[in-house]
């Protein structure tokens, strides 16, 4: 049995989706409902969409279509997991939203960013993760620092 399904749907850029909400509703929403209905009939409860960019104006449509998890929540595009939690509560699961630029910067900016996002884990439904792939400009010691902050917060010794 599958634990979750991820739909790789890179359909947004920094200012919004590549298609209008109206077109999404007309052409994509019926497909999402059909797919997520089938997946749920097979016992798959977590259905995640992976899209970069700013998808704020179509989040309601994703949810209406049966999606209940979003990733990577790109900070540079204006996505904010704290605001999403305020709007959708725990019905929307989230992964990501740790700004990759603070990972490159390191130091207090990184600690502040990670601690801010870790707070979301207290109510569940959030996995701490960088908001995209770790880029080549991230020094190794910054990545180690990031992992250390997360491990310390969750009491992971090794």
Q: Please provide the average confidence, as pLDDT, over all residues in the chain.
A: 96
How is the chain split into domains, by residue range? 1-71
Res. 50: pLDDT tops 80: yes
Tell me what pLDDT residue 95 has. 98
Mean pLDDT across 96-119: 96
DSSP string, 26-57: IIIHHHHHHHHHHHHHTT--EEEEE--S--GG
- Residue-wise pLDDT tens digits, 52-97: 999 999 999 999 999 999 999 999 999 999 999 999 999 999 999 9
Tell me what pLDDT residue 157 has. 79
Q: Which percentage of the chain shows pLDDT scores above 90?
A: 96
Q: What is the pTM of this model?
A: 0.94
Burial readout 62-97 (b: 16 or more C-beta within 10 A, e: otherwise) = bbebbbbbbbbbbbebebebeebbeebeeebbbbbb
Tell me what pLDDT residue 73 has. 98
Tell me what pLDDT residue 28 has. 98
Length of the chain: 158
Instruction: With H, G, I as helix, E, B as strand and everything else as coil, classify residue 74.
Output: coil
Tell me what pLDDT residue 125 has. 96
- Residue-wise pLDDT tens digits, 131-152: 989 999 999 999 999 999 999 9
Mean pLDDT across 17-35: 98
Tell me what pLDDT residue 33 has. 99
* Alpha carbon 148 to its chain's center: 21
Tell me what pLDDT residue 158 has. 73
Q: Which percentage of the chain shows pLDDT scores above 70?
A: 100
Mean pLDDT across 128-133: 94
């Amino acid at each position: 049995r599958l634990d979750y399904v991820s739909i790789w749907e890179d359909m947004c850029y920094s200012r919004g989706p590549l298609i209008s909400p109206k077109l999404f509703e007309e052409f994509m929403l019926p497909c999402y409902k059909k797919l997520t209905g089938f997946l749920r009939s097979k016992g798959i409860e977590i259905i995640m969409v992976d899209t970069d960019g700013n998808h704020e104006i179509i989040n309601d449509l994703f949810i209406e279509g049966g999606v209940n998890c979003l990733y990577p929540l790109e900070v540079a595009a204006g996505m904010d997991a704290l605001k999403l939690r305020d709007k959708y509560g725990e019905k929307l699961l989230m992964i990501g939203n740790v700004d990759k630029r603070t990972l490159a910067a390191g130091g207090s900016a990184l600690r502040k960013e990670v601690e801010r996002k870790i707070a979301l884990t207290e109510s569940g439904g959030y996995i701490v993760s960088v908001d995209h792939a770790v880029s080549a400009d991230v020094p190794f010691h910054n990545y180690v620092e990031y992992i250390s902050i997360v491990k310390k917060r969750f009491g992971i010794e090794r």
